[in-house]
Amino acid sequence: MATTTTTVPSAGPVAGSRSFLSRLREGDEIARLVTFLFAASVVLVTLLLVFDLWQGSVLPRHKFGFNFFRTSVWDPILDQFGALPFIYGTLVTASVSLFIAVPLGIGAAIFLAELAPARVSDTLEFFIDLLAAVPSVIYGLLGVFVVVPLMRQYIQPALKNSLGFLPIFRGPAYGIGFLTAGIVLAIMVIPYIISVSREVLLSVPRDQREAALSLGSTRWEATWKVVVPFARGGIMGSIFLALARALGETMAVTMVIGNTALISASLFSPGYSIAAVIANELTEATSNLHYESLIELGLVLFILTFILNGLARLLMVATSQRGAGMGHA
Amino acid sequence: MKRITGMLLVAFALAGVLWADNALSINGAGATFPYPMYSKWFDEYHKKNANLAINYQSIGSGGGIKQITEGTVDFGASDGPMNDEQLKAFQDKHGFGILHFPTVLGADVPAYNIPGVSAELNFTQEALAGIFLGKITKWNDPAIAGANKGVNLPANDIVVVHRSEGSGTTYIWTDYLSKISEEWKTKVGKGGSVNWPVGLGAKGNEGVTGMIKQTPNSFGYVELIYVIQNNMPYGRVRNSSGAFIKADLASVTAAAASAAKNMPDDFRVSITDAPGKTAYPVSSFTWLLVPAKFSDATKRDAIKGFVKWMLADGQNYTEALSYAKLPKEVVAKELKALNNVQ
């Protein structure tokens, strides 16, 4: 999108002397128009999406107002709907997944880009791309048949015995719940982080590395203090992508989270996420208020994604200014 | 190039015309619970009437009611009868009513996984309501142990499993609990999805069966066919005359037969907790929703033809798929009601 809008004006001074008709004949104007329409369609679809979700959720917005975000009862029979447990579940599972996936993913990307022999790096990259393309329901099955029993029999009892003094590791070990959902999500998003971060690290100019080495730094110092900060923008981008996927993931989450509208400090507790409740209840929502409340949850998820992306972008701007001197050194 | 495109277009148009001329297609949508039965029926009926194709989307009962009300499908299907408000909405929109036709019967059974216990457990009404309200939390609670003398029940916590998505199976289960427990009725109520006091949600009958098989000390409700397919132990439920009944096709049909005597004219009846010594108490009809008026006479006749066949020959296919047959009295009554479709 950005490239088309910048290249067209740059052709301007040359094209300016010719008539509109001749430019049209040579295709410049047509190309400009067509690519502009394509770019505009992205904005249009987004706006339509928001408009449709807004239109579709009139009833609950009027009936509950802001209480929709503050209450935690979700009762289709008594027509009481509060989104808080779902917002909580979505944020907690996404946070757990990033907490696990970011260090693992970036560590693996650094190894593949900087330290591993090229052949190893390329082979592994093939498998990582393959993992990124696996449908989420497969990860859900992996979660149900492998992660859940492991959690119930080994990991949760072990965490309870060693770190049980923390409120996040208390309660009965069902095997399913926030922690399991976060782990399955982490497995799903790690390939995104590795794949994008590796590309970004590989595209850091050679001069950067060589300059650091020539100043006497070790290989690790050159990687950690020069190459990684230089690639920070791209690495953050890979984390956004992972976050977006974790927030919106439906199938794999609903299979392991326990689908219970609960707010609990314990990560062992079953919970619910926004995407999961929409997928589960929309087809059998018989009352209009129930149906429209689910649509409003869709709107909430959209806003949540929007806010988190905005915050992440702000964070990136703030940190890149501090690191600008290093980047241009 | 142009000529080829033109020829292709003509060919497509011709194919379209011929296709449309040959087959009448009827679209339906709704309940997932009877979907295996319906797809078998539509398939068999298509074999007999090659020029009629019935397409059925199992999008859920709520979706079925919504679609038939909006007029986007020719018939709907639901596991719970439409309520008065929904009937009125249909009447207001179309100017005529909608009819319910029971098709088959199904049952929910209590399934469990208690390490060391392989006996068939007996469940009283108090035990079932208590477990699902979260008041009975241990397997050796007197409310459960009292009905199971001689079984060594452990002192472990009960892990309750229920459906996560809205479903007809849940409707039947909560309808039953509402009838046997005043507290359930006022606190939770009946519906395809409810605000569960306790438990974990799993997706689909297969999800619940899977979770029960995997989780020690778990307890949940599933459709009869799933426990049979999975060879799982499942409990007897005490019915209104005090007998502990195991769900099978005979006991489900018995429940329907005892309710058939008082069948209302619009067939909107719940047969959970049915009277009768041998009746299994957690069973239900599932319904086709057919508009009372059709503007297209060929479609009307096709649907009426299918319902007639389903009530006669179609009933012979039910038991192979673990659905119970309709009692004769209900069939006779439905044939009469079919005349109201115009």
SS3 per residue for A154-178: HHHHHHHHHHCCCHHHCCCCCCCCH
For chain B, the residue count is 342
B129 CB-near residues (< 8 Å, 6+ apart) = B177, B180, B181, B183, B184
User: A85 pLDDT exceeds 50?
Assistant: yes
| Cβ separation B200–A259 shorter than 8 A | yes
**Residue A37: helix, strand or coil by DSSP?**
helix
Among B77, B106, B71, B89, which Cα is nearest to B295's? B71
Mean pLDDT to the nearest integer, A256-284: 91
CB pairs below 8 Å between A and B: how many? 90
Taking CA atoms, A74 is separated from A91, A250, B293, in Å, by 18, 19, 38
Residue B267 pLDDT class (50, 70, 90 cuts) = very high
DSSP A79: T
Count the helices and strands in chain B (H runs, E runs).
Answer: 13, 11
From A11-25, A44-58, B25-39, B77-91, the region with the lowest mean pLDDT: A11-25
Instruction: Say if CB A180 and CB A147 are below 8 A apart.
Output: yes
How far apart are alpha carbons B69 and B92 in whole angstroms? 10
User: B6 pLDDT exceeds 80?
Assistant: no
The whole-number pLDDT of residue B153 equals 93
The whole-number pLDDT of residue B11 equals 63
Mean pLDDT to the nearest integer, A216-239: 91
Cross-strand pairs, A307 = none
Burial class of residue B43, CB neighbours in 10 A (0-12, 13-18, 19+)? exposed
Q: pLDDT > 70: what percent of chain B?
A: 94
Q: Which residues in chain A have Cβ-Cβ distances shorter than 8 Å to B199?
A: 260
Instruction: Say if CB A274 and CB A94 are below 8 A apart.
Output: no
Q: pLDDT > 70: what percent of chain A?
A: 91
Among B209, B203, B202, which Cα is nearest to B227's? B209
**Residue B193: helix, strand or coil by DSSP?**
coil
- Its sign, for the CA torsion A52, A57, A59, A64, is negative
The whole-number pLDDT of residue A59 equals 93
Instruction: Say if CB B299 and CB B74 are below 8 A apart.
Output: yes
Mean pLDDT to the nearest integer, A99-105: 96
- Run of H or E residues at B103: strand B98-113
The four Cα atoms A42, A44, A50, A55 give a dihedral, to 10 degrees, of: -150
User: A196 pLDDT exceeds 50?
Assistant: yes
Instruction: Say if CB B184 and CB B129 are below 8 A apart.
Output: yes
Amino acid occupying residue B299: K
B43 min Cα distance to partner chain A (Å):
25
At A73, phi and psi to the nearest 5? -95, 130
At B276, phi and psi to the nearest 5? 115, 135
Q: Are strands B244-245 and B236-238 parallel, antiparallel or unpaired?
A: antiparallel
User: A133 pLDDT exceeds 50?
Assistant: yes
Residue A15 pLDDT class (50, 70, 90 cuts) = very low
Residue with tokens 């650091």: A212
Instruction: Say if CB A77 and CB B190 are below 8 A apart.
Output: yes
User: A173 pLDDT exceeds 90?
Assistant: no
User: A246 pLDDT exceeds 70?
Assistant: yes
A155 CB-near residues (< 8 Å, 6+ apart) = none
Q: Which residues in chain A have Cβ-Cβ distances shorter than 8 Å to B203?
A: 254-255, 259, 280
| Cβ separation B214–A149 shorter than 8 A | yes
The whole-number pLDDT of residue A322 equals 52
The whole-number pLDDT of residue B338 equals 93
Residue among B60, B65, B200 minimizing CB distance to A176: B200
The whole-number pLDDT of residue B16 equals 55
Convert A154-173 to b/e letters by CB count within 10 Å (16 or more is b).
ebbeebbeeeeeeebbbbeb
Residue A106 pLDDT class (50, 70, 90 cuts) = very high
The whole-number pLDDT of residue A328 equals 42
The whole-number pLDDT of residue B33 equals 82
The whole-number pLDDT of residue B9 equals 64
A284 min Cα distance to partner chain B (Å):
4
Among A261, A276, A293, which Cα is nearest to A67's? A293
Mean pLDDT to the nearest integer, B96-101: 94
User: B121 pLDDT exceeds 50?
Assistant: yes
ipTM of predicted assembly, 2 dp: 0.75
DSSP B327: P
Q: pLDDT > 90: what percent of chain B?
A: 62
Cross-strand pairs, B147 = none
Q: Which residues in chain B have Cβ-Cβ distances shorter than 8 Å to A74?
A: 195
Top mean-pLDDT range of A95-104, A117-126, B294-303:
A95-104
Mean pLDDT to the nearest integer, B261-281: 89
Among A176, A126, A130, which Cα is nearest to A149's? A176
* Chain center to CA of A29: 37
At B77, phi and psi to the nearest 5? -150, 140
Residue B206 pLDDT class (50, 70, 90 cuts) = confident
A264 CB-near residues (< 8 Å, 6+ apart) = A171, A178, A271
Mean pLDDT to the nearest integer, A176-198: 95
Of all residues in chain A, the one with the smallest CA distance to B65 is: A286
| Cβ separation A280–B201 shorter than 8 A | yes
* Chain center to CA of B174: 13
| Cβ separation B202–A259 shorter than 8 A | yes
Mean pLDDT to the nearest integer, A65-74: 92
| Cβ separation A259–B164 shorter than 8 A | yes
| Cβ separation B192–A148 shorter than 8 A | no
- pTM of the predicted structure, to 2 decimals: 0.81
Instruction: Say if CB A267 and CB A183 are below 8 A apart.
Output: no
Average pLDDT, chain A: 87
